[in-house]
Chain A
Amino acid sequence: MSLLEIRNLVVEFATAHGVFRAVDGVNLELAKGDIVAVVGESGSGKSVAMLALMGLLPWTANISADVMRFDGQDMLAMSNAQRRQIIGKDISMIFQEPMTSLNPCFTVGYQITEVLRQHLGGRRRSHQARAIELLQQVGIPAPESRLRAYPHQLSGGMCQRVMIAMMIACQPKLLIADEPTTALDVTIQAQILDLLVDLQRQHGMALVLITHDMAVVAETADKVLVQYAGQQVEQKPVAELFSQPGHPYTHALLNALPERSSSRLLEAIPGVVPGQLDRPTGCLFNPRCQSAQALCRTAEPPRQDGVLCHFPRVGDDTASTQAVIEEGASV
């Protein structure tokens, strides 16, 4: 049985300009020990989808889904009190900026033991011992003395390690990492990613990695979910995604990477992700898509083999792209 099952998740926000649909029909299925990456530009609804699962969105958000099931429990029907029993214990989340997600007024030790107190109960002394063990596990030197440190006394990489220690304190079944390394240097990024993957292997934890860095995805994830403007445009195993991207957006994202380019100029995607007020009709990606046809501007695309597109790409050579364009022209 799958650990997490989300089907057709929709998140809408009531705003002054009407209802804004931030997440539109996201599906996600995770088994124990899976690593899934969610990629897309800012404003694609990656974080919102995960926050909806955690129940951390403000009251203006309206969450609906066909199925939202975690470990056999229905997350939608659950009361807030019941949800609080699960989040932080069985599902936990690491945020982007380690420096701002820790409370500056309390010591690191207090903040780690708070999780243990809340979810496990037991004695204070055992919490201290467990906190030291956790800090050791995430590779912080001299953990006994670090317990008394305040967040401002630690570097960004150290703070992120503390966050990870806190989040794995109760041995969660699912860890959601929201851009865990974006604010860090490459060497520290490599250390943190290795640490996350190690922990995931040791505990058989499932990991959801939200990121916009395609290279990080290539090195860590098994399965990738590409989101654009709240819609899930493609879902594929990682190797296949990089060799045969089906959606033009995925293809364009990969081509925009400097390391894939051979010429001086990169293949940029023109324009930006549409916001609330400038949503196009038809396929949401059509104004920025190089192979958009008349049909794309009028009709919403169907989902074909997990790709949300009228004319999904076949293979990765230019010949097939040509075929797609000709096929499109005849339609």
Chain B
Amino acid sequence: MTEPLIKARDLHRHYPIKRGWLQPDQILQALGGASFDLHAGRTLAVVGESGCGKSTLARLITLIEQPTGGRFSLAGQDVSQITTAAAKRQLRQLVQIVFQDPYGSLNPRQQIGTILGEPLLINTNMTTQQRRQEVLAMMGRVGLRPEHYHRYPHMFSGGQRQRIAIARALILKPKIVVLDEPVSALDVSIQAQVLNLLSELQQELDLAYLFISHDLSVVRHIADDVLVMYLGKPVEQGPCEQVFAQPRHPYTQALLSATPQTDPSRRMERIKLVGELPSPLDPPPGCTFHPRCQSAALACQQQVPAIRSYGDVQVACFNAQN
């Protein structure tokens, strides 16, 4: 097996919350122990409700923030060992991100050519002519026409803007692309266009995708592996088909049953989750899911369940069925 592009072990990130003079800071545990491998040409989907730490994970992987615990390596290099700014800059070129909102992530005052050329201007020493060539080639690849070069973002539709965002992420030839809910702001028809584009690019360029989403039907379609998170902790992870066919953690089961289905035969008995995600500032003791879990026992309220393996699937639950 080749070396994975991302190798994350027990990643943690917490934020101190200031409460006031003479009061100790409160600790917000945004991510508490995520471990996974991501290989070239594969897609890992991270799913969970808002506030479960998906975006924190994205910020760690893209080197925007430092983890407060655990280790991860990008393309074989341990990130915590890298201290010089130049080496970090090199590493950053490997990971790029596409954001959720194509309306907010493009500068309205810049032309498309400028937006796409900027990463090249900063990170390479190409001439203006070379940059232009590169930008035009990338625009063609994501399905934009050359005459779009001098246009501004407001002249494009949502789907086209997302294509621009994808082009901007790919222009430095990264190996890993973090997709933070790339299609959730789009209509189904346009969503299909963008998902197709992403699959084609992945095949062509052998990209690794970290796909963050809360739409399980999209995840099921695009992902190879899936990581389900709840309140900063992974609760179930494994190959997509296995997790979807036989969800073992009660939270995964609830998520799947809550996803509406068009096909009546695939519809499941809806497991009603009562209430909402508890505050990460004051997580419940024991298994963090127990206040909303239907099969919670006494042990769930007192001890934190360890991660156990069932074949390729790992589940953190006392009552997981084999």
User: What residues of chain A have their CB less than 8 Å away from a CB belonging to chain B?
Assistant: 41-42, 141, 155-158, 185-191, 193-194, 212-219, 242, 252-254, 256-261, 264-270, 272
Contact = CB atoms under 8 A, between A and B. Distances in A.
Interface of B: 49-50, 157-160, 187-193, 195-196, 199-200, 214-218, 220-222, 254-255, 257-264, 266-267, 270, 272-273, 275-276
A258 B217 contact: yes
Contacts of B262: 214-215, 217-218, 242, 254, 257, 259-260
A121 B154 CA distance: 47
A292 B221 CA distance: 29
Given A156-B50, A259-B220, A272-B159, 17 more contacts: A41-B189, A42-B158, A188-B276, A190-B257, A190-B258, A190-B270, A193-B260, A214-B188, A215-B260, A218-B260, A257-B217, A258-B222, A259-B217, A259-B261, A260-B263, A268-B193, A272-B190
B195 A266 contact: yes
Contact of B192 (A42, A212, A268): A268
Contacts of B258: 186-187, 189-190
A148 B175 CA distance: 51
Q: Which 8 A-B pairs rank lowest in CB-CB distance, beginning with the nearest?
A: A258-B221, A215-B260, A268-B192, A190-B258, A266-B192, A269-B189, A256-B192, A268-B193
Nearest to A41: B187
A265 B158 contact: no
B187 A42 contact: yes
A141 B275 contact: yes
B202 to A, nearest CB: 10
A285 B245 CA distance: 38
B192 A267 contact: yes
> Which of B192, B217, B221, B273: most chain A Cβ within 10 A?
B192
A141 B274 CA distance: 11
Contact of B273 (A141, A187, A267): A187
Contacts of A242: 262
Contacts of B160: 272
A294 B188 CA distance: 28
A257 B266 CA distance: 14
B273 A256 contact: no
Most chain B beta carbons < 10 A, residue from A253, A265, A272: A272
A265 B196 contact: yes
Chain A CB count within 10 A is highest, among B49, B189, B191, B264, for B189
30 contacts: A41-B190, A42-B187, A185-B50, A185-B214, A187-B49, A187-B254, A187-B255, A187-B258, A190-B257, A190-B258, A193-B260, A194-B272, A215-B217, A215-B259, A218-B263, A219-B261, A219-B267, A256-B191, A257-B188, A258-B192, A258-B218, A259-B262, A265-B196, A265-B199, A266-B192, A266-B196, A268-B189, A269-B189, A272-B159, A272-B190
A158 B260 contact: no
A188 B267 CA distance: 18
Given A259-B221, A266-B196, A268-B196, A191 B272 contact: yes
Interface centre among B187, B222, B266 (most CB of A within 10 A): B187
Nearest to B195: A266
B68 to A, nearest CB: 26
A212 B214 contact: no
Give the interface centre of A193, A215, A242, A270 by most chain B CB atoms within 10 Å. A215
Contacts of A264: 199
A270 B193 contact: yes
Nearest to A157: B276
Contact of B187 (A155, A212, A254): A212
Which of B190, B215, B270 has the most C-beta atoms of chain A within 10 angstroms of its own C-beta?
B190
A272 B186 CA distance: 12
Contact of A216 (B189, B192, B260, B276): B260
B217 A155 contact: no
Contacts of B270: 190, 194
Contacts of B260: 189-190, 193, 213, 215-216, 218-219
Contacts of A190: 257-258, 260, 270, 272-273
Contacts of A156: 50
Contacts of B257: 190
B215 to A, nearest CB: 8
A248 B187 CA distance: 17
Given A187-B49, A253-B189, A218 B261 contact: yes
A194 B271 CA distance: 12
B221 A266 contact: yes
> Which of the listed residues B222, B258, B262, B272 has the most CB atoms from chain A within 10 Å of its own CB?
B262
A238 B199 CA distance: 32
Residue from A41, A188, A256 having most chain B Cβ neighbours under 10 A: A256
A185 B159 CA distance: 22
